[in-house]
Each structure stands twice: as C-alpha cells, then as structure tokens.
Amino acid sequence: MSKVLAFTGSNSEKSINDQLLHYALSFIKNSEVNYVDLKPLKVPIYSETLENSEGIPGDIQKLRSEIRNADALIVAVNEHNGTMSSFFKNVTDWLSRSDSKYLLDKPILLMSTSPGKGGAVSSLEYTINNFKKFGGNVIHHFSLPSFGENFGQNGMTKTYKTHLESLLTNFENDF
C-alpha cells in the first residue's frame, strides 16, 4: 500500500486550508495517509548564523525523514499577500537547508482555498515553482474559491466535490 504524507502550510488553529485538506483526505481509498500537524514544530526563523551555530532543528530533520519515507505528498497551502505564508516559507527554507532536493521526484497534490474568489491561486503558483526548485513534481493541483460559499458542515458543494474526488482518484493512480 502506498504511503501519503499530508500537511498544511498554515499555522492557524482555524485554518480553512486544513479543513479542506482533512476533507480531501477522506476520499483517499488505496493509500495509507499520515497527517502531520506542522503547527507544534519548534522551528526558529531561518538564518545562516543559526544554522551554523546550532544545526538543522530536530523537528525539521524528523519532517524531512517523513517526506523521504512517503510515496507521495498532499499539501494544502494558504495565501498571504499572493504567496505561501511566512510560517510555511520558513519550514521550506529549513527543509531545503537539510537537503536541497528534499522533494526529489516526489509526486505532489497541491491544494488551496481562500475566503475570496481567487482560491489562493497565486499561492499555488508560487508553491509549485518553489517545490520544483527542490525536486518536487506537482502532478495535480486544486483551488477552492470562496470557501464560505463552497464549503460547509456537510462538506463541499457538488461541483467542487466531484472535481476533487476525481482529482484524488487520479492522483492515487498516478504514483
């Protein structure tokens, strides 16, 4: 059975991207899913001085190992000013310092949502390019616009739900 590692790039306790990710994971049928909550990681703001004096943080080393051991990744990214959050950028900075190709050939499904009609598409585009630099292979991506209108207590509206289910089935078949 394939192993999928899933996490969200938000450090918000009420992250709508985390809600989207958990909903999406309910459609994974043929893989073992390991969800990692990044919020509790003890990761200082990256600096070369800190890296040289203290090394790579243990939580980053553990996350890097989990990424290495996964067959694929499902990552939900939030958007701050058109890019990934500074929290997630810091995590990816440390990961890249632990191994400049920490995502080498790793199949990735990337997703995002936002309260607005843009669905955090700018963050998706930024993250796709960022992940490519480190060897990642984003084979599918999904954006849910207007989270409050398209996601509720019973999940996603039918059109988006059908699209997401199909995307996840294809993703599982593609790795």
Tokens, residue 105: 């050939």
Q: What are the residues whose beta carbons fall under 8 Å from the beta carbon of 29, sequence distance 6 or more?
A: 169, 172
pLDDT in tens, 99-149: 999 999 999 999 999 999 999 999 999 999 999 999 999 999 999 999 999
Q: What are the residues whose beta carbons fall under 8 Å from the beta carbon of 47, sequence distance 6 or more?
A: none
Domain of residue 66, residue span: 2-174
Q: How far is Cα 53 from Cα 83, in angstroms, rounded to an integer?
A: 30
The number of folded domains in the chain is 1
Q: Which of 82, 58, 70 is nearest to 130 (CA)?
A: 82
Q: In residues, how long is the chain?
A: 175
Tokens 């058109």 sit on residue: 82
pTM (2 decimals)?
Answer: 0.96
Q: What is the CATH number of the domain that holds 122?
A: 3.40.50.360
Q: Is the pLDDT of residue 14 over 90?
A: yes
pLDDT in tens, 76-98: 999 999 899 999 999 999 999 99
Phi, psi of 40 (to 5 degrees): -80, -5
The gap between the terminal CA atoms of the chain, to the nearest Å, is 11
Q: How far is Cα 171 from Cα 161, in angstroms, rounded to an integer?
A: 15
